[in-house]
Every structure is written in structure tokens, then in C-alpha cells.
Structure 1
């Protein structure tokens, strides 16, 4: 699939059956190809144990399919019915406060519950047997938004017992666990696995290795839950693609691991819904209040495209104001279209809009849709019509492998949350900020995980790799790529110990650095870094005292150890002894790209350019027209130069930028 396919999330159970046929016909008329249904239908299909009411769903699928739409069926396990909760209240998730989280919304289950795993497999089997061979059911979504409402980490009795079994399998003996966890500290040794509790409710912070192991255990349970349903669908519905809609911005389980079992990696995209809760400055939030951060869509598309081995779909695209954020502004007219084409430029094969018609009851009444609750078209429907016209004007194109990759390691993110040393440590935000700095310079990117194939890249970036194994270091060494390595990388072993020869552990040979001391500075410190001959740039937060025999290309300006190395460069790696942000980050990124032989073109904070095969896309997130870069002969297919506010321009021609392979 190299042309954009379009779809919508549909909840026919919320509307009178007399509307279904007209809905289907209107969807086709509007240019939609796919309809995603049924993720919250368990209690309607099985109102009591063993009694199934399939008729209405059979009818819906028949209507949609006969109209010419392809159906993505969902397993309904994100919302178990009340009768099941009454039978087995132990399946409910438990928060860190020790209280069960009850029925009445969704995601009210604990991944650790073997009872619920069996029930989920049972209902998934029923759906798969019923619809697995249906000619109109062309793909499956498993469950809905793992970790929505913070439900991956559950502190239930099932989790307590499951964690103990997991630990026994991992360590074999309690002595090995005591040694690895360092339980001689604060006299916290165990004499049996049955003594181990979950890492919540303690007087102060729990043992960091204990906490990291609980993250790993919880992540493994998500993968187990997902794989169990994948196996059922492979058996009963062969030949259909299987996906899950990951939550953008969620890092509480290893998405790399779960993605290995999927054909397509999907995610749900809400650029405005996630803006105000982000770590952007108030000035940036004001600037992007009606557009979302310019790199929100690209970041998640690139991440999930990489995890999907080139196959990525947006399974929920924000169509207007949402209803679940602290504040819910409307996007500027044109942004739904812009977000859709940004997703395609970054590799999306399909974009589905959430939802078809705005709900007139229950929790999501203020969440907009393609249609208002009375059936009249909302702004997103207007923009969908333009997207369909755009699609007809574009030739097929395939996203190429980039020359630059960012390493995303979920365990390192967990580790930094567990042992921060700096309450303001930006953690996962470091990865987002480095991504944005590269995208401002027109660099196309892939993401890789610690186990990924690292070959073929000119530059590999480790923004936040607190845990860097010897194996990862050896594979990085073999790639011959240049490396940009952020502070704190390699500072802990997989057991959450300090490496034997100090940080950066396994990365020491590549960087030629030894970290002697770390500190975290308050904002009032206002120290500076001088990068080569540039003017000083302010920084605060994490700082390291390091020693190196390699080139020092940046130094600290400080009352404490003034002139000590801030940025060093070995033949293979540039290492940072602090966490750069703002102008300092941009200067470092530009320097590293030049060092790596990768072309960079300054586009500013509001224009983004991406390459998909022979097509170039420009997106204007600002409120004034912006010119495209000079010196390129273009055949403009959509839009114009300059790019109008909240608009896109697409062209062919000119040489592909030097940061990606030709497509």
C-alpha cells in the first residue's frame, strides 16, 4: 500500500439501526475506505455468560461491507461487562494507593489476572470464530489503548503473586535476588520469594532494582495478553492484518516488544489533546495552541512506523476539540488535513478519524467527530473532502529508510523515573526535544530499539539510554555510524547498579569518557556552556564531571570547576556531560550533523519538511505564509510557495535531501 487509505471509527450500537445504511452510504460517498468497529461491545454481545446476541453486529458488518467498506473488527477486551466483574471482582486493577479501580468506564482489568486472561481469550475466540472468515472483515484490532488511564502498573493480589513467580523464574534462588537487588542496604534481605511485596506503599522510595523488575514484569504481562489474542486471531482469521492502537506518549511498557507480534502498528493521534499537558514552555503552548506541537505527529508516526517494520496506521486521528484534556481548544481550520498528510509523509499507510458522529450521551459528548450529533457535517468532514481531492493528485510513494536513527529504550525511561537524582529530569522529553531539533533542520528519522538492526545509518543518537548493555555497545561499534550520546547514558547496568568502571559503562570505549561525579542544578543556578567558538548558552539541571583524552568541543562556564568538559568528541562519538535544551541543543545538533556529513537546512519553528519517496511535503504550523527553501526546481502538485498558514505544499523534483535514501 503506497497511497493513503482513509477510515473512521464507528459506534453503530450508539445509534438507531435505521441510520446504519445511510451512514454506510455517506461514508463511501465521502471517500472513506475503512471502518473500525466493536472495541466496546462485549456486554452487548454477551449480556450474560454464555448468551450471545450477534444479530445486530452481523447486520452492521453486512451493511458496511455491501456498501464497499472494509471492516476492521476489534476484540472487545478493553471493557469487560458488569456480570464478569460481579463474578470475579479480583480482575479489577489496583492503583498505587492500594484501592481497586471499579466498573463504570473502561480498562477496568488487571493484566496480571490469569482469570481475566482466560476470559479475554474466550471472548476473543468467540469473535474470531464468528467473523474470522467474514469477507468484509479485513483486519483486526486487539483491545484498545493499553495503559490508557494508567492501567499497566496494577498493584493487585494477582500482580503480587505473579510478580513473585516471575522473580523466581528470573533469579532461580532468593540468594541471587538478594545479591542483584543489593538487599544488604537498609537490611532489606528476603529469605523466600513469598516475602516479596509490590513496590508501593513503602515509607520512602523502594529499592530501584525491585521497581525496575516490576516494570519489566508488568510489561511482560502486556505482551503476554496481546500475544494470546494474536494467536487466536491467527488461528481463526488467517490472512487478516492484526494491529493495536498504542497511546501516543505512553512509555509504561515496552512497545517494541508488543509490536513484534503485530502486522501493523497503530496509534491514536491527538496533537491538541496532548499539548497542554506536555512539558513545552507556556510560550510554545501559546504558539501552538491551535496546531499542536509541529513534531507531535511526526515523532509518533516515525516511532510506530519503525516498530511496525514500515507498516503504521493512525487508528484515531483528532477531528476537532477533544473532551478529556484539562482544556480543549479547537484546532485551526486546515489542521485536520495537515495532520493527516503529515502522518502520510511520515509513513502512515492509513488514517482513521475518531469518530463518525459525535455522541449525544455518556462520557464523550463534547468530543467532536466528522459529523455533529444531529448528523450535520463538522469542520473535519469539510477537510476530509479536501484530503480526498489531494489524494487523487498524488502519485504513490514509499517512505525510505533514513540515515539518522534515534534509539528509544523503554527500560532506560523506567530507570530514570525510578532513580531520577533530579526531580525535574526531562527523561522521555529529552527524546522528543532532540527529535524536534533534528526535524527543524529537515532531517528525516527512524527509531530503533536496543535489539534492532542498527546497520545502514550514518548517525545514531542515544538521547536517554541510561541502561546501555555491552551487547548494545558492541553492535554500535560494528555499525561504523557516528554517535551522539546524551548525558547519563550507560550510567546503570540492567540490574540498576553503577558499572564496574563507572559511567558510561559499556559505552566507555566508544566515547573515551569516564564520569567521576554527577549533580543536578536548580533553575536559579544559570550556568553556561560554550560550544567551540559560539557565545555561551545557558543550561541547568543535570551536569557531570568527566575526564577524557579526546577532543573537548564544549566546556562549562561555572563557579564550580570552571572550564571542565561539557561536550567531548572521540573518533566515533560526541558525548554530552549535561542535558542541553533550547538554543544549546540546536547548536549541538547542527554541529553533529555537519560532523556526520548530513545536510541540514534551517526551517524555523513553524515549517516542517518531510520526504516520502519522490514526494516532498511542507507543513506550515504558523499563522503567516512561509517560503520553501531556495535553489530547488519543483513541480508543485498540491499547494503553493509560499506555504499558506495551516496549509501544506507537496512537490516532485529536485534532489532528495542528503539525510535520507531515495525512495
Structure 2
């Protein structure tokens, strides 16, 4: 499917049934293809155990289908009903403070609960039996936004008991666990698995391998929960695509692993909702207050497209101000259109808008929609109509495999949070900033995980991979790609130990580097990096003292170990002994692309260019018009070589 499809999230249960048929007709007239429904309907469908009220949902599906709309049905497990909580209060999640998180909103369940897993499969089976063969139901979404409200890590008794069983299966004997965790340190040995507690509410920091194993266990429970419902749907609704809507910016479980069980990988896109809470500078937040960061949409689309092996949907697209952020500004007119085309350019097969009509009651009254609560069209509806008309001018264009890949390893992100060595260690921010830096050169990107095929890439970028297994190192070695490797890579084994040969451990032969010491520096340190041509750049934060016999590209200017290597290049790899930002990062990325013979297009700060098959796309995130470089071969299908503020241009090479 290479034509952009459009959809909307619809909550008919929140509106009088007299509106349903009119709503469906208006959706079809707007050019919508899909309607996602029912993710929070368990308590309405089954108000008490075994008593089902299907009639209203049957009617909604018929109305939507008869209007020519395809339905994405959802399993309703993100919001278990009160009667189930009353019967089984042990399914409620527990926060790191030890307090039970109660009923009254959503996501009030613990992934570790086998009781809830069985209940989730039971209600998913009921929905699948009812609608699995319905001719109007063409796809399924499982649950809603795993880890919303920080619910992956639950510190319940159920989680503790499950974690103990998981550890027993993993280690076999308590002696092996003690050796692997290094419990001889601080004398914290265990004599049985039943003695092990969860790594929260401790006097000091937990044992890092203990904490990492709990993160792994918790991630495994998310995959188990998701896969169990996938299996139900495969049985009762064969031939329908299955997806889940991942939360953009969430790294608390392994999305690579969960995505492997899905047909389509979806995510929810809120560029403004996530702006103020991001790690952008205050100046950048001010600059992009009404547009979102230029690489927000691209980053997540490329990530989830890669995890979906080319099949990615935006399942919730921000239509205007949201209601859940610290502050909730309106996007400038034109941004909903821009975000939609940016999603398509980065590989989205479909974009669904959240939501159809703005709520009149309950928690999300300020969250905008395509329609206002009185049914009048809001700005997003105007821009949707424009997109629907523009897509008719475009030929089919598949998104092709990129030449450059970014390695994203969730376990390394957990590990760096557990053992930071720097209270402000940027962690996942490093990956975002390197992605954004590469995109300013017009470079198209894929994401890969440690389990993926790494062959056929020209350059593999490794911004933050603290844990590098021997298997991953062998893949990197065998890929033939050139490597750009960030500081701290390979500094821990999968057991969270320092490698016997010191960092970068399994990457030592590729980099020709040995890390002798790591420090973290405050802003006041005023350290610099000097290149061989004399150019100098400021940096702060993480710094490594390394030894190497390979080519030193740049050195540190410092009162401590002045002249020690900062950037080293071997035949296969560039290794960084610090974490670059700003101009230093820009220079390093430019040099790496040149070294790998990757063609680049220098973009102004507000301009982003990407390709999808034979189509080129340009997006202006700025308040002034921009000119595209042209060689006369572009045949413009949308816009032209002059891109107005917040504008879009799409062309086909003649």
C-alpha cells in the first residue's frame, strides 16, 4: 500500500446515537478511509461478568461500513472495568514509591499479573469472536499505548513473585545469580530466589544487574501480554492486520521485540505535546513552539517503519492543542498538513487523526479534534481536506531501504539510566540529536536493533550502545559497513560487568581503542576538542581517557591529560571519547558521511528534505519562505521550488 490512507479515532459511545450516521457520512465526504474504535469499551460491553451488551457496537460498525469506511477494531484491555478490579485488586499496578495506583482513569493494570493476562485474553476472545469475520472490520489494534502513565515497571507483589520465577528460569541456581550480580559487593548475597525483592525503595542505588534484569523481566511481560492477544486474533480474525499504538519517546520496554509480533507498527504522534518536555534548548523550544521539532515526526516514523519492516501507521496524529502537556500551544495553521505529509514521506502507509469530535465531558475536554464539540469543523478538518485532495496527484512510491542506519538498543538505554556516572547523562537524547544532525544533511535513515540484519548498509551509526554482546560485535564486523561509534559503547557486558579487556569491550578490535578512565564533567569545566586542522569546539559532560595506535583525528585541550585522543579513526570505525553536541556534532557527522562517501544536501535549520521512492519531499518548519536548490529536473506535484512558511513541496524527477 503506497497511497496515503487517512483515518480518524472515533468514540461513538460518547455521543448520542442520532449523530452516528451523520458522522459516518461526513467522514467519508472528508476523504477518510479508516475509523479506529472501541479501545476503552470493556466496561460498556461487559458491565458485569458474562453479561454482554453488543447491540450498540454492532450498529456503529454497520453504519461505518455502509458509509464505505474500513474499521480498525481494538481490544479494550487498557481500561479494565471496576467489577474486575473489585474482584481482583491484585491486578492494579504499584508505583516505585510502593503505592497502589487505583481505578478511575486508565492503564490500571500490572503486566506481571497472570490473572489479568487471562482476563485480557478472555475479553479479546469475546471481541474477536464477535467481530473477527465482520466484513467491515479490516484491522485490529491491541490495547492502547503501553507504558502511558509509566506503567511498564510495576512494583507489585505479583511482579515480585513473577520476577523471582523469571530469575530462577534464567539462572537455574542462586549461586549463578550471586556470581552474575556480584552480590559479594556490599555483602548482599542471597541463599534462595524467594529472598529477592524488587529494586525500589532502597537506602542506596540497587545492584545494577538486579535493576537491569528487572527491566528485562518487565519488558518480557509486555511482549507476553501483547503476543497472547495477537494469538487470539490470529485464531479468530485471520487475514486482518494487527497493530499497537506505541508511544513516541517511550523507551521503557523493547519495542523491537513487541513489534516483531505485529503486522503493522503504529505510534501516536504529538509533536507539540512532547516539545516542552523534550531536551531541546530553550531557544529551540521557543523557535518551534508552534511547529514541533523538525525531526520529531521523522525520527519516530523512521524508527517504527524500520521495526515494522516497512509497514508503519500513525494511529493518533495531533490535530491542534492537546490537553495533557505542561503547556498546550496551538500549532500554526498548516502544521497538521505538514506533519501528515512528513509522516507519509518517512514511510507511513496511513495517518489517523485523534480524534473526530472534541469531548464535552471527562478528562480530555481541552484536547482538540477534527470537529469542535458542537460539530463545527476545526482547523485540522480544513487541512485534512487539503491533504485528501493533494494525494490524488501523487503516484505510488515505496519508501526504500536507506544507506545509513542508526543502531538503537533498548537495553543500553535502560543500562545507562541504571548506572549513569553522570546525573545529567543524556542517554536517549544522544540518539535523537545524532538523528537530527544527520537529517540536516538530507540523509535518509533506517533504525536497526541488535537482532537485525546489518548487511548492505554503507554507514552504521552507534550513538549510545553501552551493552555490546559478542553476537552484535560479530554482526558489525561482518557487515562491511563503516561505523561511527559514540562514547561509552561496549563499556558493559550483557551482565552489566566491565569487560575483561576494558571498554569498548567487544568493539576493541574494530576501533583500536582501550578506555583507561571515564569521567563526567560539569558545565563549568570548559573543555574543548581540537582537530588536526586547528579548529576547536567546546564540549562538556562525558569524557574518556583512551589509548590507541590508530589515527587520532582530534584531541582534548584540557588541564587534565591535555592532548589525549578525543576522536580516533581506524579502517572501519570512528570512535568518540566524548559526547558531542551542537557545532562539534555537526562537524563529526559531516566528516563521517564524507569518509563513507554518503552524498549530502546541506539544509537550512528549518528545512528538511527526504525521499520516498521516486518522490522528493521538502518541509519548511520556519516562519520565512525558503528556496529549494534546483537543477531543472524536478516536476512539482505539490508546491514548488519556493516553499512558503510552514509549507510543503513534493516533486517527481523528470
Under TM normalisation by the shorter chain, which class is it?
A: over 0.9
Q: Deviations over 1:12-68 (max 9, x none)?
A: 000000000000000000000000000000000000111000000000000000000
**What is residue 437 of structure 2 aligned with on the other side?**
437
Q: 2:119 matched to 1:114?
A: no
TM-score between the two structures when normalised by the length of structure 2: 1.00
Matches of 1:632 and 1:214, distance apart in 2: 57
Do structure 1's residue 293 and structure 2's residue 293 form an aligned pair? yes
State the Cα distance separating 1:84 from its structure 2 match: 0.4
Alpha-carbon offset, residue 602 of structure 1: 1.1
Partners of 2:215 and 2:414 within 8 A in 1: yes
Does the alignment pair 1:521 with 2:521?
yes
**Partners of 1:482 and 1:188 in 2: CA distance:** 43
Question: Which residue of 2 is the match for residue 230 of structure 1?
Answer: 230
The DSSP-based 3-state class of the residue aligned with 1:414 is helix
Q: Which residue number in structure 2 is paired with residue 582 of structure 1?
A: 582
Post-superposition offset of 1:633? 2.0
TM score, norm. by length of structure 1: 0.98
Which residue number in structure 2 is paired with residue 56 of structure 1?
56
Give the Cα separation in 2 of the matches to 1:632 and 1:226.
Answer: 50
Residue 639 of structure 1 aligns with which residue?
Answer: 639
Match for residue 488 of structure 1?
A: 488
Deviates more, 1:387-396 or 1:225-234: 387-396
Q: Shift in Å at residue 531 of structure 1?
A: 2.6
Cα displacement (A) at 1:632: 5.1
Q: CA deviation at 1:565?
A: 0.4
Q: Which residue of 1 aligns with 2:373?
A: 373
Query: Is the Cα–Cα contact under 8 Å of residues 96 and 200 in structure 2 kept in the other structure?
Result: yes
| Secondary structure in 1 matching 2:627 | coil
Q: Tell whether the 8 Å contact from 2:629 to 2:641 is kept in structure 1 after alignment.
A: no
Question: Aligned with 1:194: secondary structure?
Answer: helix
What is the rounded CA distance, in whole Å, between the counterparts of 2:254 and 2:632 in structure 1?
Answer: 42
Residue segments in structure 2 that go unaligned for 5+ positions in a row? none
**Could you tell me how far apart the structure 1 residues matched to 2:16 and 2:555 are?**
68
Residue 470 of structure 1: aligned partner: 470
1:395-474 counterparts in 2 under 5 A?
395-474=395-474
1:70: which partner in 2?
Answer: 70
1:544 paired residue number: 544
Q: CA deviation at 1:530?
A: 1.6
The CA deviation string for residues 249-285 of structure 1, in whole angstroms up to 9 with x for no partner, is 0000000000000000000000000000000000000
Q: Is the 8 A contact 2:630 2:641 kept in 1?
A: no
**Aligned in 2, Cα 1:380/1:577: closer, same or farther, shift over 3 Å?**
same
SS of 1:231's equivalent in the other structure is helix
Deviation at 1:534, TM superposition (A): 5.0
Displacement after TM superposition at 1:631 (Å): 3.3
Match in the other structure for 2:356: 356
Correspondence for 2:508? 508
Question: SS where residue 602 of structure 1 aligns?
Answer: coil
Which residue of 2 is the match for residue 308 of structure 1?
308
2:268 corresponding residue in structure 1: 268
Deviation of residue 335 (structure 1)? 0.2
Q: Does 1:218 align with 2:218?
A: yes
Structure 2 Cα separation of the partners of residues 581 and 591 of structure 1: 15
SS in 2 for 1:495: coil
| 1:641 CA displacement | 1.6
How many Å separate the matches in 2 of 1:384 and 1:625?
23
Shift of 1:535: 2.1
Secondary structure of 2:155's aligned partner: coil
SS at match of 1:516: strand
1:359 is paired with a residue of what secondary structure? Answer: coil
Distance 1:23 1:427, change over 3 A: same
Quote the offset at 1:629 in angstroms.
Answer: 2.1
Is contact 2:402–2:444 with CA below 8 Å preserved after alignment? yes
- Give the Cα separation in 1 of the matches to 2:52 and 2:591: 63
CA distance in 2, matches of 1:208, 1:165: 19
Between the aligned partners of 2:237 and 2:473, the Cα distance in structure 1 is 41
1:7 corresponds to: 7
Residue by residue over 1:583-604, the C-alpha shift from the partner in whole angstroms, topping out at 9 and shown as x without a partner, is 0000000000000000112102
The equivalent of 2:561 in structure 1 is 561
What are the residue-to-residue correspondences of 1:380-399 with 2, within 5 Å?
380-399=380-399
2:462 & 2:71 partners in 1: Cα distance? 40
How far apart are the structure 1 equivalents of 2:643 and 2:562?
46
Residues 318-345 of structure 1, C-alpha deviations (whole Å, 9 max, x = no match):
0000000000000010000000000000
Deviation string, structure 1 residues 362-390 (Cα, Å, up to 9, x no partner): 00000000000000000000000100111
Describe the SS at the equivalent of 1:475: helix
Which whole-Å CA distance do the structure 2 matches of 1:417 and 1:315 have between them? 29
CA distance in 1, matches of 2:114, 2:433: 40
Partner of 2:36: 36
Aligned-residue offset at 1:212: 0.1
Match of 1:657 in 2: none
Q: Describe the SS at the equivalent of 1:119.
A: helix
Cα distance in 2 between the residues matched to 1:556 and 1:78? 51
Q: Identify the residue that residue 89 of structure 2 maps to in structure 1.
A: 89
3-state secondary structure, aligned to 2:642? coil
- TM-superposed CA distance for 1:452, in Å, is 0.1
> Which deviations, in whole Å up to 9, do the C-alpha atoms of 1:199-229 show, x marking residues without a partner?
0011010000000000000000000000000
Aligned to 1:397, what secondary structure does the other structure show?
coil
In the TM superposition, residue 393 of structure 1 has moved relative to its aligned partner by 1.0
- Alignment match, 2:570: 570
CA distance in 2, matches of 1:629, 1:116: 57
Tell me the matched-pair count. 654
Work out the CA distance in 1 between the residues paired with 2:187 and 2:369.
57
3-state SS of paired residue (2:529): strand
SS at match of 1:164: helix
SS in 1 for 2:643: coil
Distance 1:534 1:317 in 2: 47
The aligned residue for residue 104 of structure 1 is 104
- For residues 427-485 of structure 1, give each alpha carbon's deviation from its aligned partner in whole angstroms, at most 9, with x where no partner exists: 00000000000000000000000010001100001100000111111111111100000
CA distance in 2, matches of 1:526, 1:471: 39
Q: CA RMSD in A?
A: 0.6
Give the equivalent residue in structure 2 for 1:659. none
